[in-house]
Structure 1
Amino acid sequence: MVRKSSGEILAQIRAEKDNPKVDVWWGGTGDPQLQAAAEGLLEAYSSPVHSELLPWAQNFHDISGGRATGIYAGALGFAYNTQILEKKGLTAPSCWKDLASETYRGEVQIANPNSSGTAYTALATLVQIFGEDEAYRYLGELNENVNSYTKSGSAPVKAAARGETLIGIAFMHDAVTQKQAGFPIEIVAPCEGTGYEIGAVSVIKGARNLDNAKLFVDYALSAEGQATGAAAGQNQVPSNGKATVPPEAPDIATIKLVDYDFATYGSADMRTHLLSRFDGEVKTAH
């Protein structure tokens, strides 16, 4: 098993397409898996467990052409360290626009969308909320407050939990895990609305251990397999309708979610376009 951020995994699978070194892609944001599916890098597979999955997971499977399936869902947000906030006498942020205020100069962390699926979801979310040009203007303003673009999507909220930054942008379930561990953080669902991820699982085209890869997917989609997430302290919403939802999982039914367009923002052309704009207009200014 190798653990990498979603963008890094996509790059590896592309590089190894003629001689795959791995059999299964498990977890992480689904957008890069949709891109891999469109590029013919994933094997079509419909698990016998498919009928037990919630509609959003089945829909993701359909969008991918049967090459990737949703295993969990999680909403994007941010968290702030309450002790640092109080010590500095700052007002708590509640919206995306708040994070661009000069009040939080040097106080925000977010991952780099080139490596992180979490950060790419944030990028695509902001474009869908504000429109593309306004979103990049916002990101330019936010850039003034960013102290670090991390490689991993969960790193910013871990840094906020440890007091290394005031605010970390991440998936809310990752923030819940930190709060459960006793860290002084408060979790925010942005007032303008927010996007969400569908974490996915897929079989790599040309997998050396195809039969076992399919068995792994079956287990990952089963209620039994998805129970291992909660047992390991994870707080995503599982995709199997028979699986138990972790009690501390953010209730996505109560969060203002955008109608996230996975087909559009999961395409290779759109990803290339958005990342190119980010590198040219935002990251170079950091």
Structure 2
Amino acid sequence: MNKISISALALCAAMAAPAAFAEDLNVVCSNEQTWCDLMAQNFKIDTGVNVAMIRKSTGEVLAQLRAEKGNPKVDVWWGGTGDPHIIAANEGLTEASGVDVSGLLGWAQNMTEMTDGKAIGVHVGLLGFIYNTEILAEKGLPTPACWRDLAKPDYRGEIQVANPNSSGTAYTELATLVQLFGEDEAYKLLAEIGANVNQYTKSGSAPGKAAARGETTIGIGFMHDMVKLKKEGFPVEIVAPCEGTGYELGAVSVVAGTPHMEAATKFVEYVTSAEGQSPGLEVGVYNIPSNPGAETDPEAPDMASVKLIDYDFATYGSSETRERLLARWEKDVKGAGGAIEE
């Protein structure tokens, strides 16, 4: 009797547990480290699939996928700005997962259509800048409100931004200013801002964190990362530039040639679900999720309240455009001031 009961209980437990996969799923994550870690943990709990997660900026991931084409070391790329995901799709570095996106917001579906199903939108992030109110007051600096303000000599050595070669955030800034002002005027402005930059970081969220800690006065990046800093009590204010600003369509893509397509598809389904996206609030993720059922925070950036440009993802997500803009940035902007690199 006891043996039968124990066997029955074991059978019930086995039926209730998520099915485990024989091999780990390798994911490269371009979100914040805490969000990467939480997603890996939750996905394992809910599906039984082990995830080996590593964090890299979008430019680093694109370079890795190019280097590993035909022999990929990762199965899925989750997070990061949409432009490099589009480039990866166009270069055959990623493949369609076949996941149904009909329940996602329109901009997420547009990303899927734009890439023939190879990239799916997971969030929107609005570009802006942040300043430390205490340092601004101590130094008697004017309050910045516009992109052109950042070129003022008052801010010499006071600004931090990421390097667009490694950071999708910084590439979004570069592409945004080109679309706002025209290419020649944008590079003139970028060089003037560059004269005020004290450091080019590898990560796009690093400048905002530096401003919050008082290591720089102004940081350029995505506003949702800055909301987290403000909610944590740092003396900062967030600015949506007066001329208008660009935005990212964060995405998830399956790497072409993955031997773990079933688990990869399951991961894409999970990170685009309300269940998968909502826990981001637990670790201060305040971007705009692609699943309308996901929970959001009232202090998160609102697309309707910010002057946004009509960001041309097809043009600025092409390999040719990206390489040309980055080459010109290296030539005309990088050496404009005395900035160091992380």
Task: Give the TM-score band, short-chain normalised.
Answer: over 0.9
For 1:284 and 1:102, the matched residues in 2 are separated by: 16
Within the alignment, does 1:79 sit opposite 2:130 as a pair? yes
1:46 deviates by 2.9
Residue 83 of structure 2, aligned match among 31, 35, 49 = 31
1:175 deviates by 0.5
Q: Pairwise mapping of residues 136-147 of structure 1 onto structure 2 (< 5 A)?
A: 136-147=187-198
Give SS of 1:52's match.
coil
For 1:46 and 1:84, the matched residues in 2 are separated by: 50
For 1:284 and 1:101, the matched residues in 2 are separated by: 17
Partner residue in 2 for 1:250: 301
Partner residue in 2 for 1:47: 99
Give SS of 1:66's match.
coil
Give SS of 2:177's match.
helix
Structure 2 gap segments, 5+ residues each: 1-52, 338-342
Partner residue in 2 for 1:280: 331
1:197 deviates by 0.4
- TM-score of the pair, normalised by structure 1: 0.98
Residue 268 of structure 1, aligned match among 296, 315, 319 = 319
2:169/2:222 contact within 8 Å kept = yes
- TM-score of the pair, normalised by structure 2: 0.82
For 1:13, the aligned partner's letter is L
For 1:145 and 1:216, the matched residues in 2 are separated by: 42
Partner residue in 1 for 2:247: 196
Within the alignment, does 1:92 sit opposite 2:143 as a pair? yes
For 2:283 and 2:190, the matched residues in 1 are separated by: 34
1:237/1:246 contact within 8 Å kept = no
Partner residue in 2 for 1:225: 276
1:268 deviates by 0.4
* Higher relative contact order (Cα pairs below 8 Å, separated by 6+ residues): 1
1:74/1:252 contact within 8 Å kept = no
Within the alignment, does 1:5 sit opposite 2:57 as a pair? yes
Give SS of 1:19's match.
coil
2:192/2:336 contact within 8 Å kept = no
2:247/2:308 contact within 8 Å kept = yes
2:271/2:277 contact within 8 Å kept = yes
For 2:234 and 2:259, the matched residues in 1 are separated by: 43
1:245 deviates by 1.9
1:201 deviates by 0.3
For 2:188, the aligned partner's letter is R
For 1:99 and 1:281, the matched residues in 2 are separated by: 17
1:169 deviates by 0.1
For 2:302 and 2:313, the matched residues in 1 are separated by: 20
Query: Cα RMSD over matched residues?
Result: 0.8
1:52/1:242 contact within 8 Å kept = no
Runs of 4+, deviation exceeding 4 Å: none
1:50-83 per-residue CA deviation (whole Å, 9 max, x = no partner) reads 1110001100111111100000001000000000
1:120 deviates by 0.1
Q: How many residues align?
A: 285
1:72/1:198 contact within 8 Å kept = yes
Partner residue in 2 for 1:113: 164
Residue 21 of structure 1, aligned match among 73, 95, 104 = 73
1:285 deviates by 3.3
Deviates more, 1:187-196 or 1:176-185: 176-185
For 1:232 and 1:184, the matched residues in 2 are separated by: 20
Give SS of 2:80's match.
strand
Partner residue in 2 for 1:169: 220
For 1:83, the aligned partner's letter is E
For 1:65 and 1:272, the matched residues in 2 are separated by: 22
Partner residue in 1 for 2:18: none
For 1:154, the aligned partner's letter is S
Identical-residue share of aligned pairs (%): 64
1:252 deviates by 1.2
1:22 deviates by 0.5
